[in-house]
Amino acid sequence: MHHNDDVDGNRGVDDADLLMMLFAFGQAGQYLGRVDINCDGIVDDADLLITLFHFGEGC
């Protein structure tokens, strides 16, 4: 299971999503919200890679 790569919900994966991801990078816990894209309990390089892979979609 994973969340939509559009972290801020504006229907596009853009610099705002990347910025939110970078501010949350390294955080861990149960309630991380949409920035924990792969739902593993930590915002890490895997989440960042998913965001970067889809960067520009829907914009």
β-bridge partners, 42? 28
For residue 45, give every residue at least 6 positions away whose Cβ sits within 8 Å of its Cβ, in sequence order, or none: none
pTM, entire model: 0.83
d(CA 27, CA 42): 6
pLDDT tens for the chain, residues 1 to 59 = 556 788 888 989 999 999 999 999 999 998 898 899 999 999 999 999 999 999 988 87
- What pLDDT does residue 1 have? 52
- What pLDDT does residue 2 have? 58
- DSSP conformation class of 39: -
Instruction: Compute the C-alpha angle 38/20/56, nearest 5°.
Output: 75
Domains of the chain: 1-59 (1.10.1330.10)
